[in-house]
Chains A and B, each alone.
Chain A
Amino acid sequence: MQRSSFCYVAGTPVLETQGLTKHYTLGQETVRALDRVDFTAVQGDFAVVNGPSGSGKTTLLNMLALIDRPSEGEVLFEGRPTRRLSEGELALLRREKIGLVFQTFNLIPVLSVAENVEYPLLLTKTPRGERRGRVAARLEEVGLSGFEKRRPDELSGGQRQRVAVARALVTAPRIVLADEPTANLDSATGRQIMELLQGLNRDHCVTFLVVTHDPSVLDYAQRVLTIRDGRIQGEEKRGAPRPA
């Protein structure tokens, strides 16, 4: 992956929330999953949102990934409000500008490793030749060259998560959102994945926002936001990421 030109404008807001609130109705009761969250992710960030189960981490990630709509407040993507965007416009933003890494990898089992990574490029109608090149480059970056034809069920958990990372990066998104990327991995593999993300952030200026309850992930963050009961409790700036 070539170093992104966006790196030269590090600090430019990519994702921003203003008074972001989400509440669900359970029977008679209204549960506030997110309560007036204000947060900004800037270009080149490696931010980690940390909090216990049920604190609202995943709800926040869903809002930032534009796959769920807020009850109140706004999510701005590159300064553009998204609340009034249609389903189609949100899908366009997701496929072109947001990369997603899931806790359970969420690879498509009937597709090979290369096809899984290629899938988002098909959605953006990228020409075939360019697709091939990008897929090969991303797989090389995540250390999976030679695994192109394998199916997900022929890979270890760590390898699957690497494929998921390659898939998230293949469209050169403005930001990659990762939901508990180490939760389904043993600690050694989890470290490898985090080092991979950190390397991509450091060397290729990929912006990452990681949601986790795993304390070991915090070591890789430039910024740590703690969330509890749907509210950001505090933010810790850690400066440059830990060297790999």
Chain B
Amino acid sequence: MTIKIAARNVFRNRRRTLISLLVIGIGLTILSFVLGFVGEAITAAQRSLAMELGALQIGDPRVLDGKASGLEGLIDPEVAQRALALVEELPNVAGVTTQVRFAGLVGDEQGSTLLLARGIVPEDCMANYACLIVAGRGLEGSEAREIVLGERLAERLGVGPGDRVNVATGTVSGTLNAATVTVVGVVQYGEAQVEERLGFVPLGFAQRLLRTSGVERILVWLDDLDQASGFAGQLTRAFSSAGLPLAVRTWDELTPFFASLETFWSAFSGFTTLAVFALVLFSVLEVLTISFLERTREVGTVRALGASRGRVFAGFVSEGVLVGIVGGLGGAVSGAIVAVLFNALGLTFVPPGGNMPQPIRVAVSASTLVIPFLVALGATFLSSLYPAAKNARLTVVEALRSL
């Protein structure tokens, strides 16, 4: 009966209840949208970084931690082979590749510019960057004298697929080496500054140019990114037992800015959650206070009939919670609908420093629906406590005297 009375009282003054529900609904829709946007932004950044870097990277600790250049800490081919054998023993490995990175100059007799090159294994589809190709084709042979250039770099040099350019760099022994290569493709990388200097060459060619047979790092992709940390520990122990002088770093250890990015987004969504919580709390508090005070005489009546203070208190709190449940469900559904409609618009934006439009999407997930619902429930529960306690504390005579 307590719930029945509470439910009927909730809809006793329909206009007032509707206002409360609207406030909750609008607040939760905004919250759901923000949480969905932030969730999607974090997931997209995580996905993109992990795609680029691999879930794990194996290499000389000085190189991985940025304390030495790649050429100073190359992995010996025999060590690399043993490490790869250990990686292959792990379950759920989605892909493995090796890379060497070097800096040099690229150009022709007209002029040259800085090149930040990556020697990659074209056959390893997880890291051949084929999906970024906007003109020409990707690299094909591990030994071929080919290069794929960043779009901005290609524009600066005035070259395209089929043109030949010279690449010069220092070898591991410190001497200079150069070669003429054919531009086979152009990639759009997404970051303008990187794209102005970026080039990919086959790993075998890069090693010949650098006069080494070593690799700089081994990249490992996993089926489940959440397992990265566990696998890193496992590999570190395996390398240590095998006497391999290698370190393992997870994708997030390699990108400390991701933690800052995540903290920023989490603070943003936390602040929004708090603001919506406060909005619902104070709006519903005002409505419930008026609504409860109007029924002081009824409190007197039921107390005179023998209802305990606790029962009166529970009745009023039930009303607040019911408003929270109805408003919370409405807000969660409305948030999901708005997110789906927003995603259907297919909006994009070009991030600062970027040159490729990125989709703006809003995630619809359990957390973007459940958190707003809990916010509504918590806020309405809290907002009902004060007026409920105030009514329950009244003496029967005081309550009955109320008009």
Chain A positions near chain B (C-beta within 8 angstroms): 62, 65, 67-68, 87-88, 91-96, 98, 100, 102, 106, 108-111, 115, 118-120, 122-124, 167
Contacts and interface: CB of A to CB of B under 8 A. Distances in A.
Interface centre among B1, B301, B303, B307 (most CB of A within 10 A): B301
B306 A120 contact: yes
Given A95-B306, A123-B307, A67 B397 contact: yes
A67 B5 contact: no
A167 to B, nearest CB: 8
B305 A68 contact: no
Contacts of B8: 110-111
Name the 7 nearest CB pairs between A and B, nearest first. Answer: A95-B306, A110-B8, A67-B396, A106-B301, A94-B306, A68-B397, A122-B1
Contacts of A109: 12, 298
B308 A91 contact: yes
A3 B5 CA distance: 33
B307 A91 contact: yes
Contact of A110 (B12, B301, B305, B397): B12
* Secondary structure of the A contact surface, majority rule: helix
Nearest to B396: A67
Given A67-B396, A106-B297, A110-B8, A123 B309 contact: no
Contacts of B303: 67, 91
A91 B400 CA distance: 15
Interface string B303-338: 111111101000000000000000000000000000
A115 B1 contact: yes
Nearest to A107: B301
B298 to A, nearest CB: 6
A46 B247 CA distance: 97
Contacts of B9: 110
Contacts of A95: 305-307
A106 B306 CA distance: 14
Contact of A100 (B5, B304, B395): B304
A94 B305 contact: yes
6 contacts: A67-B395, A98-B306, A106-B304, A115-B1, A120-B306, A123-B306
Interface centre among B12, B300, B308 (most CB of A within 10 A): B308
Contacts of B79: none
Given A88-B308, A95-B307, A119 B397 contact: no
